Amino acid sequence: MLRSAARQDWLPHAIVWLGIAVTAFPLYLAFVASTLTPQEIAQAPMPVLPGSQGPANYGAALFEGTTMRLSPPVISMMWNSLLMALVITFGKIAVSIVSAYAVVFFRFPGRMFFFWCIFITLMLPVEVRIMPTYEVVSDLKLINTFAGLTVPLIASATATLLFRQFFLTIPDEYVEAAKIDGAGPLRFFRDVVLPLSRTNIAALFVILFIYGWNQYLWPLLMATDKNLDTIVIGIKKMIGTGDALTEWHLVMATTVLAVLPPALVVILMQRWFVKGLVETEK
């Protein structure tokens, strides 16, 4: 692009920096609050620079939780979140990649019907079937179990569509070559399709990990047992109802801990993240 004058260059930078300031401010404030004493936070306005209580606050949040025991120690909630996120992520990737493989590389009666069945789930998010899904899970005796928390979320129309889209670009010659070499469909899947799908799997991993880690409505319905609390649910419980009683220094330390894992995944895997976002929305 032609630039009319070099002196105009400062304006875009200034606007982006303003945007970053607004974007980052809530996070910065949470970080500052997580390093202050409750008294320092309570005196409005609270200091704008970090204090010295950081290690103490994070230690207390991680290993003890709030004093009123509204939620378990954060370390156990982070463990639940991590486990849930990973099971959902790999579960979705696994069931989707094999479904897409079946739909693309085989001819069988009902093929398109089954594909549409999977596709239609796009239009049935948890939010529109809250009560009946709760009843199904409760009939299956899965309330307050880890299986109830994860298995119902392990179906993914977007992941299946993405893999199908990609599988259609694998040349027919590969399949022919495999057949001539006497490789069966499972062998072909393991030795050819799976290695070729690496970048797609990485892209989906980022998107789905964030999806899994950030689940809210589902655990809220399924898991009333404290031992199954995820960190996102835990923060809500820590705020409780009584405003004056909220231990904001611990809540903010927990918030920072809740944001860190998905934020790191996005930052460190940025290339796959962008690919994943753009491809799954096609």
Partner 1 sequence: MDRKVYFNNKALPYLLLAPQLAVTAVFFFWPAGQALFMSVLQQDPFGARVVFVGLENFAALIAEPDYLAAMWRTAWFSLAVTLLAMVPALLLAVMADRVARWATFYKTTLIVPYAIAPAVAGVLWLFMFNPAIGSVAWVMKSLGVDWNPTLNGTHAMWLVILASAWKQIAYNFLFFLAGLQSIPRSLLEAASIDGASEARKFWTVVFPLLSPTTFFLLVVNLVYAFFDTFGVVHAVTGGGPAKATEILVYKVYYDGVHALDLGSSSAQSVILMAIVIGLTFVQFRFIERKVHY
Query: Which residues inside 37-66 make contact with partner 1, applying CB under 8 A?
Result: 41-42, 44-46, 48
Residue of 96, 158, 197, 200 interacting with partner 1 (CB under 8 A): 96
Write the DSSP string, 179-205: HHTT--HHHHIIIIIHHHTHHHHHHHH
245 near partner 1, judged by CB under 8 A: no
Whole-angstrom CA distances from 198 to 44, 168, 193 are 51, 16, 9
| Least Å from the CB of residue 125 to partner 1 | 6
Residue of 60, 70, 88, 101 interacting with partner 1 (CB under 8 A): 101
105 near partner 1, judged by CB under 8 A: yes
152 near partner 1, judged by CB under 8 A: yes
| Least Å from the CB of residue 65 to partner 1 | 16
Paired tokens of 120 = 């239609």
202 near partner 1, judged by CB under 8 A: no
Per-position x/- string for 171-190, each x denoting binding to partner 1 as judged by CB under 8 A, each - no binding: -x--xx--x----xxx-x--
Residue of 50, 86, 138, 236 interacting with partner 1 (CB under 8 A): 236
Residue whose CB is less far from partner 1, 125 or 195: 125
Q: What whole-number distance in Å separates Cα of residue 96 and Cα of residue 117?
A: 13
278 near partner 1, judged by CB under 8 A: yes
Contact 148, 223 (CB under 8 A): yes
What's at 114, amino acid-wise? F
Helix (H) / strand (E) element for 262: namely: helix 248-268
In Å, how far from its chain's centre is CA 275? 16
What are the phi and psi torsion angles at 224 (to 5°)? -95, -10
